[in-house]
Chains A and B, each alone.
Chain A
Amino acid sequence: MATFVGLWVVAQLLANSALAVLIGRFRAGTPIVYGVSFAACLVGLGGALWQLFGNAAGVPETILPIGLPGVGAHFRIDALSAFFLAVTNLGGAAASLYAVGHGRHETAPMRVLPFFPAYLAGMNLVLLADDAFAFLVSWEFMSLTSWALVVAHDREPENARAGYIYLVMASFGTLALLLAFGLLAGPDGSYTFAAMRAAPPGPTFAALVLALTLVGAGSKAGLVPLHVWLPLAHPAAPTHVSALMSGVMTKIAVYGFIRIVFDLVGPIAWWPSLIVLALGAATAVLGVLYALMQQDLKRLLAYSTVENVGVIFIGLGLGLAFRANDMAWAAALAVTAALLHVLNHSIFKSLLFFGAGAVLGATDTRDIERMGGLIHRMPKTAITFLVGCAAISALLPFNGFVSEWLTFQAILVSPLLPQWGLKMMVPAVGALLALSAALAGACFVKAFGVSFLGRPRSTAAERAQETDRISLGVMFLYAAICLLAGVLPGFIIDALAPVVKLVTGDQLPKQSVIAWLSVVPIAESRSSYNGLVILIFLVVSGTLTAAFVHRVSTRATRRSAIWDCGYPDPSTATQYTGSSFAMPIRRVLGASVFQVEERVSMPEPGDARPARFQVRVFDPAWRFAYGPLARLVAATAGRLNYLQFLTIRRYLTLTFSALILLLLVVAAWR
């Protein structure tokens, strides 16, 4: 039944896509298409939640007579896919509704409208797929539709480049997944998930599958060093699509990783978890450091997505390590933390992108150095964006803290692990996670402080107008979810229980029955957290203090000019900019991590030219990984170019010898 609902949603979205081709050119087309997508996603969300809460046992698979002739395509919903379907369709519904309002900024609707529902359909299909063929086809469909959205505004030179890199990386990722499924399918070529589960590969192949999945799903999720396409492609798309790509599509990649590594492969040795942990920790720290260096608001958010993916993978790596050592209860804790962060990140990152879209619509720029003072011009957007910033910086009492807290709790269990490699690795990962949490705070103080606070740095920022009501409604809803999920996380953890049970074989104790609605992951004597009590404490003590101060003291307030230690400068250029805000951290932590190029051109005295200071921060992944790779590919292609200019005689010889060689290989194999 739930599978049927899921497939119906996909069909509905694809039909909507066709509808968009017909009516997209009309003014009224935009709200209709987005409205229908919104409705379809709501149905999908309902179906997924119904599956998650009402029907924990799996449902039988549905076989559709499409795909490979004679075998069809298998689709099925279980708890894991139901959870991710809920995340996807929640994000899809919010993005669609936001786009009903925000879509009026679109200059070329025909380049966005037909692909948007198809993209949603692709993501839904990946989660529904129950065989390797359907999975890979839907995965590729999702990649291509999102690519079409990335290059929607192809006239901007950056976007074309982003689209190209995205396409290359996406194909590369799919290739890795294809090979992983190939290994899983084994010599019989049994390509349904059920058959793979029944015949798990040996330990070597399992590790190989994990490595390939890490490359395939990791490149889509944005694991360092496979992240390079992400900060280019996510901001290039229209904002509601950026929200989906960052908030939801990276989670589909996480789903792919969980599905293959936790579900299909079967038991895995402990040491691959070292790789996952190391990659996750590196991703978390490097992602946030790069984010801190960005001046482009949407790119900053995209890099911060990289960081959060790292946090999720730390949780998953811990889950793998615990599971390999038969500590199902600890694995349940780690995986719960990761899944909770999946949900939380999808919410606050979408919220932040919605806010960035509102700012982009109002000021027509993504450069935070041209913003400033928007809190006065766009007060409602400012509040929701502030909530998003607080949530993503893991501040109390918002939801980001809960998942990070659970991850820390999982790290603190890890001395029980027997292997020395893990004993050494996990505390380092914990320290890096703490570092990334602290840097995220700095990053979002910068993001909010430079764009929304201070004085306007451009006339566009001075004249910014508040965004439309529908967008604001979505943003306020998401901000409310950020607070609610932070205050009452117990209910969400309980909802995750069947998913965690499926993945790890154990689950956390039921949370919603604990006194005062606390969260107690292991035992009361060990650790507990109660966001509700903290929130009440904060509100009560803040209100009491304010009331006391206003009662005891004078309430006299005078507005006056800025003081600034007696030397106020009327020029708004004397404010701290985003890059000056990040300068200390750039200098302290960046020297070893970035390639920073600072260029100062100071004219001679008497010279009337303005002085210039230029900072460029390079992502070292380009220099150390991709640069050499690209050069290698170019060099090889140059060599092989020779093959294009042979005589017919040589071509025949070449073909014949290739045939002989293959026959020999086959003969040796038999």
Chain B
Amino acid sequence: MALILDLAAQAVQMLMVVAIAPLALGVTRKVKARLLRRVGPPVTQPYRDLWKLLHKEAVVAANASWLYRVAPYLLFAATWVAAALIPTYSTDLLFSWSADLIAIVALLGTARFVLALAGLDVGTAFGGIGSSREMLIASLAEPAMLLVVFTVALLVGTTQLSAIATQFIDASVGLRVSLGLALFSFVFVAIAENARIPIDNPATHLELTMVHEAMVLEYSGRHLAMIEATAALKLVLYASLLVCLFFPFGMATNDKGVVALAIGVVVWIGKILVLSALLPVGETTVAKMRVFRYPIFLGGAFASAALAVFLLFVSKGF
């Protein structure tokens, strides 16, 4: 019986991240439009877009291989599994031990690997440009992300997300300089990984500076729907990760009561929506960067996370 309940809790988590993802994207777009003094589409528009795309005929290039058609599902599956393993509303989910933070970073790396290959599959200049730049961003962002992981792991002595969240909630860690640096770094990495301004512009479709959109340019129909859904899911994933690492308060710990879980769910959704609303505020204040300025942006993230790690190696007190 306990196992069934645990499985149910895990299933709730899996379904919830997928269900809320388009909403988070919708909120982001709506707030961004309002900040630009446009009315903007309704917050439910991403759901409708996905539904529309799902019912369109998929046009596949004549020379596309099986990899091109499988990639959207692989991509979605890898991102979904990563999102499902991050504690969102409760710290003791059934499978949260099966992948620690490093493994979750690697899962996202797997998704990116598949997408970059899909970008190269048809053999166009746009696909190549997107894949090449995506891998450049990844090779700068992933080390920064792993240093953030190191920071947190050194502070609490574990890379298990549930254990990290539990320790932070118990307030045995408190406010730290290193955590501030790590948060700064994490936000930069999250912006880069989600292809947001100033690294990439999710609203563009014909610009030589685009990265993610160039990679998926050939996709259409249900395949594109999967890729769009993945993008939304990834946004929620990074928001959940940020919440779990830095603001885990409100999460149910060691309490499988319905009330605690319900509070956890509500608080989590609230936090995700707040973050979705904050993202466009940042986005509207900066301009898109040139490709060869990315290293400065991500190098800043890397340096601040590295500083945090060095501080912690010097003393646990930072």
Contact = CB atoms under 8 A, between A and B. Distances in A.
A533 B103 CA distance: 12
B203 to A, nearest CB: 16
Contact of A396 (B58, B106, B117, B121): B106
B259 interface: no
Nearest to A515: B97
B107 interface: yes
A534 B139 contact: no
Contact of B160 (A516, A525, A561, A588): A525
Given A435-B143, A553-B225, A588-B292, A563 B218 contact: yes
A430 B150 CA distance: 9
Interface in A87-129: none
Given A518-B97, A581-B128, A556 B313 contact: no
Nearest to B105: A434
A584 B291 contact: yes
Contacts of B43: none
B77 A445 contact: no
B62 A561 contact: yes
A53 to B, nearest CB: 28
Contacts of B288: none
- Most chain-A CB neighbours within 10 Å: which of B14, B85, B120, B206? B120
Interface string A406-443: 00110110110000000110111011001101110110
Contacts of A580: 128, 132
Interface residues of A, number: 90
Contact of B309 (A430, A545, A574): A430
B124 A530 contact: no
B36 interface: no
B98 A516 contact: yes
B279 interface: no
Interface stretch (A179-187, A205-213, A536-544): A536-544
Contacts of B222: 549-550, 553-554
B124 A564 contact: yes
A546 B62 contact: no
B247 interface: no
Interface stretch (B49-57, B237-245, B260-268): B49-57
B287 interface: no
B85 to A, nearest CB: 8
A562 B128 contact: no
Given A441-B113, A442-B135, A546 B218 contact: no
A25 interface: no
Interface string A554-574: 101111111111001100101
Contact of B62 (A528, A537, A562, A575): A562
A538 B226 contact: no
Nearest to B129: A576
A197 interface: no
A258 interface: no
Contacts of A267: none
A427 B146 CA distance: 11
Contacts of A444: 113
Contact of B206 (A538, A565, A581, A589): A565
A573 to B, nearest CB: 10
B123 interface: yes
A291 B116 CA distance: 18
Given A427-B310, A427-B313, A537 B131 contact: no
Nearest to B136: A584
Interface residues of B, number: 89
Contact of B120 (A412, A445, A554, A561): A445
B143 A405 contact: no
Between B57, B65, B292, the greatest number of chain A beta carbons within 10 A of the residue's beta carbon is seen for B65
B309 A427 contact: yes
B313 A424 contact: yes
A516 B154 CA distance: 27
Contacts of A572: 123
A556 B66 CA distance: 16
A275 interface: no
Question: Which of B55, B67, B123 is most buried by chain A, counting CB atoms within 10 A of its CB?
Answer: B123
Contacts of A585: 135-136, 139
A453 B120 CA distance: 6
Contacts of A556: 57-58, 221
A583 interface: yes
A490 interface: no
B139 A525 contact: no
A439 B62 CA distance: 31
A442 to B, nearest CB: 4
A358 to B, nearest CB: 17
Listed residue (A518, A529, A583) with the most chain B CB atoms within 10 angstroms of its CB: A529
Contacts of A259: none
Interface string B276-292: 00000000000000011
A453 B113 contact: no
B128 A373 contact: no
Contacts of A393: 109, 113
| Most-contacted residue by chain B among A373, A430, A445 (CB, 10 A) | A445
B120 A415 contact: no
Most chain A beta carbons < 10 A, residue from B76, B119, B146, B163: B146
Given A395-B109, A545-B73, A581-B128, A537 B81 contact: yes
Nearest to A420: B314
B314 A587 contact: no
B59 interface: yes
Contacts of B309: 427, 430-431
B109 A438 contact: yes
Given A415-B312, A556-B58, A394 B106 contact: yes
8 contacts: A396-B110, A431-B146, A438-B109, A455-B123, A527-B159, A564-B124, A574-B124, A576-B128
